[in-house]
Amino acid sequence: MGDSLSSAQLFALQRIAESPQASINDLAALTFTHQSSVSVVIQRLVERGLVAKVAASDDRRRQLLALTARGRRALGRAPEAVQDRLIAALSALPQSRRRALAQSLREVARAVAPGRLAPPMLFEEAQRTQRKQRPQSTR
């Protein structure tokens, strides 16, 4: 298990740290991501021991996300997620330009991945694909 986090994993960790007791649905809203996409990222963080799913005290069926001690240490060593800078830059645009950009991006997404219901979190799928395609060295 490597120490490096994908940008999507880092972004999710940062949002969980800022919003203790968030559910996966809450985290999806906080990361501007579809629930199914953020769920994949969270599962990877759970497998790495960086995040734990805990039952809510008011409803034991509902699971909340919590950083583990290992997750807090990883976050303490990590840089700012690029998504934070992207959100800040987009927020600075006037609403009419954000709307036009969103429409353009929807059209691009449909052209790039037709039929896909929920895209992965930003920078999550690309990193996985790059690892799979990396040529193996021969001796």
Q: What is the pLDDT of residue 117?
A: 61
Domain holding 23, by residue range, is 7-127
- 53-94 pLDDT tens trace: 998 888 888 899 999 999 999 998 887 777 878 888 888 999
- Distance between CA 90 and CA 83 in Å, rounded? 10
Q: Quick check: is 1 in a domain?
A: no
Across 28-46, average pLDDT: 92
Strand 51-55 versus strand 63-67 pairing type:
antiparallel
Q: Quick check: is 132 in a domain?
A: no
Q: Quick check: is 137 in a domain?
A: no
Which CATH number covers residue 99? 1.10.10.10
- pLDDT, mean over the chain: 82
Q: Sorting pLDDT into bands at 50, 70 and 90, what band is 139?
A: very low
- Distance between CA 47 and CA 123 in Å, rounded? 19
pTM above 0.75, yes or no: no
- 63-73 pLDDT tens trace: 999 999 999 99
* Buried b / exposed e along 90-123 (16+ C-beta atoms within 10 A): eeeeeeeeeeeeeeeeeeeeeeeeeeeeeebbbb
- Distance between CA 32 and CA 87 in Å, rounded? 10
Q: What is the pLDDT of residue 128?
A: 46
